[in-house]
């Protein structure tokens, strides 16, 4: 039994909450009475409630985010009905801003806004002493990072074996991009990176091999970046994987040289481009040198083995579909491994709302608060772009269509036009975004390319079949059987098809 529970609903099991571990690390004398219990947002609320109540806690603290607020609200509602005396404390980015009329805030006993690393402990001390603060909302402010206890020893052996290990060496962001909550976190504050490295070394010695840094601008301080990259290079071995979020136009020569030393499969760089339209960038207070950005991405792709994940956003104020498409084409030309097409969300507290009137921006009222229409993009176009984004993930980002993707992008005047046409055709066939299995999708890609690409059926079939079988799959769709390579019977079928094609073509 634990008097205090720290809980959240993660998006997936593989995500381990570093926020809960910070709270636990800083509980002081209350740590022995505190326990972390994590769930997944997909779990039924009643099962979560049952598990929480088995601990018979006096206080439960929930981390609330855009992906779990709806389910967390349901969980808290059940808890308060069953155990009205249970004290529920909430915090997190989803409830730190514009909280006055949120139903989840009304259900909770206390709300801590901001970084609650220390404030949660202080509140629990009062509550455990039967002293109830008069104010429901507690503004945590910004804790002094040198005084915080670090959380990394509280990743369990099971976490290390099965989950992503989230770490950080800084908080905040120097940029003011209006769609992002980090734009509010000014100035950037640094942990003692040598202290963090000691903790990471301990994790590494315990077997941790997957590290994801949550710093918004990892390469802001080049000296620190180099120290950390070299730390991992010194420990490089098969299976070690590190993820960083990088500022795209800040890659000096010394950083380039170190990044180039990482072997294939060991380093992923997430690069937030968002838009290449300078007027749109100005609208959202985003500063970036597009020429340097493109030069750096081209270098990283050509001269390093880093896996490049590029972010673009649809629906920014002043950006039309055509403008987005122009930027998309430029990024495709740089050939990154992955392009994440996101639909703009109006996160609580972000200043993007100042554009609501001039750009006629309408957002959904429920999470994830996606844009519905703007002055420049109609509701129908945003529906189309939502499908575009989903199908791009399935075909271009999944790794299941490494060769076929190139054929799809060539079946139009530009890569954007080509994939947009494919996206609309695919929707006309399946009528949905989700629940499209790989076998069905492969059949449809083959069918589309046969009709639109101008290539011969045999070549297309062989490419799609090769893509399907690349992951060791043996259940090849029947329509692709004649084109699969490997057996004499299959070779004979291909030769026969080629002869038939020559006859048909005259």
Burial category of 134 from C-beta neighbours within 10 Å (exposed 0-12, middle 13-18, buried 19 and up): exposed
**Global pTM value:** 0.91
The three-state secondary structure class of 505 is helix
Arithmetic mean of pLDDT, 428-441: 96
Residues 388-397: pLDDT tens digits? 999 999 999 9
Given a cut of 90, whether residue 488 has pLDDT beyond it is no
With a cut of 80, say whether residue 144 has pLDDT above it.
Answer: yes
Which architecture characterizes domain 4-144 according to CATH?
3-Layer(aba) Sandwich (3.40)
pLDDT band at 260 (very low <50, low <70, confident <90, very high): very high
**Confidence (pLDDT) at 417:** 98
Question: What are the pLDDT digits (tens) for 287-313?
Answer: 899 999 999 999 999 999 999 999 999
Which pLDDT does position 64 carry in this prediction? 98
DSSP structural state of residue 150: P
Q: pLDDT value at position 486?
A: 54
CA nearest neighbour of 179 among 69, 272, 294, 115: 272
pLDDT of 498 reads 52
CB 11 within 8 A of CB 67: yes
DSSP 457-472: HHHHHHHHHHHHHTTS
How much of the chain exceeds pLDDT 90, in percent? 87
- DSSP for 282-336 reads HHTT----HHHHHHHHHHHHHH--PEEEEEEEE--TT--HHHHHHHHHHHHHH--
Q: Which one of 1.10.3720.10, 3.40.50.2000, 3.80.30.20, 1.20.120.450 gives the CATH number of domain 155-373?
A: 3.80.30.20
The enclosing H or E element of 23 equals: helix 18-25
pLDDT at 473: 87
The pLDDT assigned to 471 comes to: 78
Q: Contact, 456 vs 450, CB < 8 A?
A: no
How high is the pLDDT of residue 187? 76
Local structure of 52: helix, strand or coil: helix
Can you read off the two tokens belonging to residue 84? 């009205």
Residue ranges of domains in the chain: 4-144, 155-373
Q: State the Cα–Cα distance between residues 126 and 112, nearest whole angstrom.
A: 14
What is the distance between the alpha carbons of residues 128 and 126, in angstroms, rounded to a whole number?
6
Report pLDDT for 173: 85
Q: Quick one: pLDDT band at residue 506, thresholds 50, 70, 90? A: very low
The model's pLDDT over 65-98, given as tens digits with 9 standing for 90+, comes to 999 999 999 999 999 999 999 999 999 999 999 9
Q: What is the pLDDT of residue 487?
A: 38
- 185 near 233, Cβ under 8 Å? no
pLDDT of residue 174: 82
Query: Which pair of structure tokens corresponds to residue 431?
Result: 């009528």
What does the mean pLDDT of the chain come to? 93
Q: What is the pLDDT of residues 15-71, one digit of tens each?
A: 999 999 999 999 999 999 999 999 999 999 999 999 999 999 999 999 999 999 999
Q: What is the largest CA-CA distance in the chain?
A: 91
């Amino acid at each position: 039994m634990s008097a205090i529970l720290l809980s959240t609903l993660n998006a997936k099991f593989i995500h381990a909450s570093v926020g809960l571990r910070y709270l636990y690390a800083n509980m002081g004398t209350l740590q022995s009475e505190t326990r972390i219990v994590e769930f997944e947002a997909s779990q039924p609320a009643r099962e979560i409630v049952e598990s929480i109540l088995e601990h018979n806690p006096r206080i439960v603290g929930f981390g609330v985010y855009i992906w779990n607020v709806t389910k967390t609200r349901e969980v808290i509602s059940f808890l308060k009905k069953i155990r009205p005396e249970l004290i529920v404390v909430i915090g997190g980015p989803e409830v730190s801003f514009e909280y006055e009329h949120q139903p989840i805030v009304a259900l909770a006993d206390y709300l801590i806004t901001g970084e609650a690393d220390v404030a949660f402990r202080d509140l629990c001390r009062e509550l455990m002493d039967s002293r109830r603060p008069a104010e429901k909302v507690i503004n945590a402010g910004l804790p002094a990072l040198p005084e915080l206890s670090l959380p990394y020893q509280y990743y369990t052996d099971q976490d290390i074996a099965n989950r992503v290990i989230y770490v950080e060496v800084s908080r905040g962001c120097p940029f003011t991009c209006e769609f992002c909550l980090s734009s509010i976190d000014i100035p950037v504050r640094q942990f003692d990176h040598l202290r963090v490295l000691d903790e990471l070394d301990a994790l590494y010695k315990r077997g941790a091999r997957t590290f994801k840094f949550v710093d918004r601008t990892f390469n802001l301080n080049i000296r620190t970046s180099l120290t950390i990259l070299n730390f991992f290079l010194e420990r490089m071995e098969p299976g070690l994987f590190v993820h960083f979020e990088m500022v795209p136009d800040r890659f000096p020569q010394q950083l380039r040289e170190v990044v180039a030393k990482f072997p294939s499969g060991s380093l992923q760089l997430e690069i937030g481009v968002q838009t290449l339209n300078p007027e749109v960038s100005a609208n959202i207070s985003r500063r970036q040198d597009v020429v340097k950005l493109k030069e750096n991405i081209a270098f990283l792709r050509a001269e390093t083995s880093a896996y490049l994940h590029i972010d673009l956003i649809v629906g920014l104020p002043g950006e039309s579909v055509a403008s987005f498409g122009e930027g998309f084409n430029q990024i495709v030309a740089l050939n990154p491994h992955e392009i994440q097409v996101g639909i703009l969300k109006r996160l609580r507290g972000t200043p993007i709302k100042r554009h609501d009137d001039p750009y006629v921006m309408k957002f959904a009222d429920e999470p994830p608060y996606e844009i519905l229409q703007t002055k420049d993009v109609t509701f129908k176009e945003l529906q189309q772009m939502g499908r575009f984004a989903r199908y791009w993930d399935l075909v271009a980002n999944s790794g299941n269509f490494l060769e076929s993707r190139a054929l799809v992008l060539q079946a139009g005047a530009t890569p954007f036009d080509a994939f947009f046409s494919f996206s609309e055709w695919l929707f006309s066939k399946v009528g949905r975004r989700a629940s499209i299995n790989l076998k069905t999708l492969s059949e449809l890609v083959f069918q589309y390319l046969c009709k639109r690409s101008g290539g011969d059926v045999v070549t297309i079939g062989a490419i799609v079949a090769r893509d399907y079988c690349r992951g060791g799959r043996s259940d090849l769709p029947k329509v692709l059987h004649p084109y699969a390579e490997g057996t004499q019977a299959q070779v004979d079928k291909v030769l026969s098809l080629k002869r038939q094609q020559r006859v048909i073509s005259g």
